[in-house]
Amino acid sequence: MHSIDTELAVDATGVARRFGARWVLRGASLTLRTGEAAGLVGANGSGKSTLLRILCTLLRPTAGTARIFGADVVQDPDLVRASIGFFSPIPGVYDDLTARENLLFAATMLGRPKRTADETLERVGLTHVSNERVRGFSSGMLRRLALARLLVHSPRLLLLDEPYNNFDVSGIALVNELIRETLARGGAALVVVHDVASAVPVVGPWFTLRDGIVVPSSGIPLGIPSPTPALAMASAGGTR
Amino acid sequence: MALRDEWHRARAVAWKDLTAERRSKAGFNAVAALAVTILVLFGFALGPDSEAIRAAAPGALWLAALFAGVLAFNRSYQMELDGGALEPLLMYPGARRALFAGKLMANFVFVLLLLVIVIATSLVLFQVAVPPTWPALLIVVLLGAVGLVTLGTFYAAMASRSRAREVLLPLLLFPMLVPVLLAAIQATKALLVGGAMNDAGAWTSLLVAYDVIFLILTFLAFDYVIEA
């Protein structure tokens, strides 16, 4: 087991991932220091979500290594999971439980006091529906509930996959507030976005994932790059 | 401390599964209806011979519990897959054996309730009287349920990653359950419709051995089968 490195939040080197014959990542490297909120952009299918899922231990890399605060995502997944919070486009809540029950469950699983569930519901603006089953919630409300789960956790590293989707203005502000709070605690955030404008107030530096490799952007990315035609053919053919 | 945390987490998973199941209702009602239907069909298949019916009762009740249980095991992971909740569940820190323990507890309660209905229906349909050795029968039922639920929960986790999970689960589970079913049926037969008590004792011991072995193996292997 590795000791926790307080300086490097993410240290990924040569991360590659193949699905069948198709290489999605071809040696992506990325370093993120504590106090940084990095933005990651790229075309659809460029591997942004795959990289996040590798960093949060949901997928194993085919090649390469990745460390979160010094802990290897393959060798020490428990240590990694204790320090990260992953926000996915799918809310992942239980339809037949109420909003409060969903958060109480999350609080128990995370070893947090139960009162944090009520405090967090108030913060995300769901107190008025806290005892209703989430089956009837709108997609925005479901996303708020998923965000509340992240607030209950209050992790050192945020891995956010399209965090602004389905949010109104106050929801977007809530996401940015969460990022600021995490940075203020000495944490870090890696944010995958298409909606660059919403992230600009809190995110930087920026990286672009293209052809399976992460490259630093010189400034705020204005357009989402497309994969090169040669690479698209190579991906389909299975060469890395 | 760590064990206490794991216990809290396992209990939370069980509570969550049982609460969702209680609220949806459709799941348990459908599974119980299937079990009763299987028993009725067995009754028709065996004909009017009351001796033959009585002799077949232990086998019929355990097979009904098995077929209905498979639906329950599948549902327990379907609940996670439907709303994309499996990934957040796997992301919680701590040992994943707590998740397995929680699923196991919830499925155990579910199958026990199912067995109560199946046994009550069997006693009526197959004209079997409650034996004086009912406490021993209760122990056999509990041990059989442990074996059934342990393997069912484990293989349902394995099958949950497959698109053909409904077909895959019985294919994986049924062959592995043969020793548990055989021991449970024989022990139940000895206690319910006659036979030497020694027979029941030997089969019960075998059931205990299978339960212990399967519990240890499934807890050790769960981390590997739930990985993507």
d(CA B111, CA B11): 17
Instruction: List the single residue in B with minimal CA-CA distance to A146.
Output: B88
Is a pLDDT exceeding 80 seen at residue A1?
A: no
Q: What share of chain B is helix, strand, coil (3-state, %, to 5)?
A: 85, 0, 15
> Are B91 and A86 inside 8 Å of each other by CB?
yes
Q: Which of A82, A94, A110 sits opposite B85 (nearest CB)?
A: A94
Mind giving me the DSSP string for B20-84? HHHHH-HHHHHHHHHHHHHHHHHHHHHTT-HHHHHHHHHHHHHHHHHHHHHHHHHHHHHHHHHTT
Report the pLDDT value the prediction gives residue B47, as an integer from 0 to 100.
Answer: 78
Report the pLDDT value the prediction gives residue A194, as an integer from 0 to 100.
Answer: 86
| DSSP code, position A112 | -
Candidates B91, B92, B226: best to mutate against A (most CBs of A within 10 A) is B91
Shortest CA gap A74–chain B (Å):
11
Exposure string for B56-93, b = 16+ CB within 10 A, e = fewer: bbbbbbbbbbbbbbbbbbbbbbebbeebebbbbbbbbb
- Cis-peptide, bond into residue A205, ω within 30° of zero: yes
Average pLDDT along chain A: 88
> Are A109 and B82 inside 8 Å of each other by CB?
no
Evaluated on CA atoms A94, A99, A100, A103, the torsion sign reads: positive
d(CA A108, CA A213): 38
> Are A110 and B92 inside 8 Å of each other by CB?
yes
- Comparison of pLDDT for B163 and B218, the residue scoring more: B218
| DSSP code, position A141 | H
Report the pLDDT value the prediction gives residue A226, as an integer from 0 to 100.
Answer: 47
Report the pLDDT value the prediction gives residue A221, as an integer from 0 to 100.
Answer: 74
Per residue in B92-108, pLDDT (tens digit) is 988 899 999 999 999 99
Chain B residues closer than 8 Å to A108 by CB: 8-9, 12
Q: Are B198 and B133 in contact (CB under 8 A)?
A: no
> HSE on the CB side for B53, CA within 13 Å?
20
Per residue in A104-127, pLDDT (tens digit) is 999 999 999 999 999 999 999 999
Q: What is the pTM of this model?
A: 0.87
> Are B87 and A90 inside 8 Å of each other by CB?
yes
> Are B88 and A110 inside 8 Å of each other by CB?
no
Selection from A99, A96, A89, A91 nearest residue A135 by Cα: A96
> Are B83 and A105 inside 8 Å of each other by CB?
no
> Are A108 and B79 inside 8 Å of each other by CB?
no
Report the pLDDT value the prediction gives residue A5, as an integer from 0 to 100.
Answer: 53
Q: Are B37 and B116 in contact (CB under 8 A)?
A: no
Q: Does A93 touch chain B (CB under 8 A)?
A: yes
d(CA B113, CA A141): 36
- Chain A (192-221) residues lying within 8 Å, Cβ to Cβ, of chain B: none
Instruction: List the single residue in B with minimal CA-CA distance to A135.
Output: B83
Residue A121 amino acid letter: L
> Are B19 and A95 inside 8 Å of each other by CB?
no
Give the least confident one: A186-195, B31-40, B125-134: B125-134
| DSSP code, position B133 | T
Percent of chain B with pLDDT over 90: 49
> Are B227 and A60 inside 8 Å of each other by CB?
yes
Chain B residues closer than 8 Å to A149 by CB: 88
Per residue in B176-216, pLDDT (tens digit) is 999 999 999 999 988 887 755 557 888 999 999 999 999 99
Is a pLDDT exceeding 50 seen at residue B69?
A: yes
Which sequence spans correspond to the domains of chain B?
2-226
Is a pLDDT exceeding 80 seen at residue A225?
A: no
Q: How many helices (H) and strands (E) does chain A have?
A: 8, 10
Q: Which of B19, B20, B91 sits opposite A81 (nearest CB)?
A: B91
Is a pLDDT exceeding 70 seen at residue A6?
A: no
d(CA B60, CA B83): 36
Shortest CA gap A12–chain B (Å):
19
> Are A58 and B5 inside 8 Å of each other by CB?
no
Banded model confidence at residue A230, pLDDT cuts 50, 70, 90: very low
Evaluated on CA atoms A131, A134, A140, A143, the torsion sign reads: positive
Report the pLDDT value the prediction gives residue B18, as an integer from 0 to 100.
Answer: 94
Which class in CATH covers the domain with range A8-91+154-168+179-237? alpha beta
Shortest CA gap A17–chain B (Å):
13
> Are B93 and A78 inside 8 Å of each other by CB?
yes
Q: Are A219 and A212 in contact (CB under 8 A)?
A: no
Report the pLDDT value the prediction gives residue B75, as an integer from 0 to 100.
Answer: 87
Per residue in B159-178, pLDDT (tens digit) is 987 888 888 888 999 999 99
Chain A residues closer than 8 Å to B7 by CB: none
> Are A97 and B19 inside 8 Å of each other by CB?
yes
Q: Could you give the C-alpha distances from A143 to A110, A174, A191, B92, in angstroms and in order?
A: 19, 11, 16, 18
Chain A residues closer than 8 Å to B228 by CB: 58-60
d(CA A1, CA A75): 8
Which sequence spans correspond to the domains of chain A?
8-91+154-168+179-237
Is a pLDDT exceeding 70 seen at residue A240?
A: no
Banded model confidence at residue A239, pLDDT cuts 50, 70, 90: very low
Per residue in A10-54, pLDDT (tens digit) is 999 999 999 988 999 999 999 999 999 999 999 888 899 999 999
Per residue in B121-148, pLDDT (tens digit) is 988 888 888 888 889 999 999 999 999 9
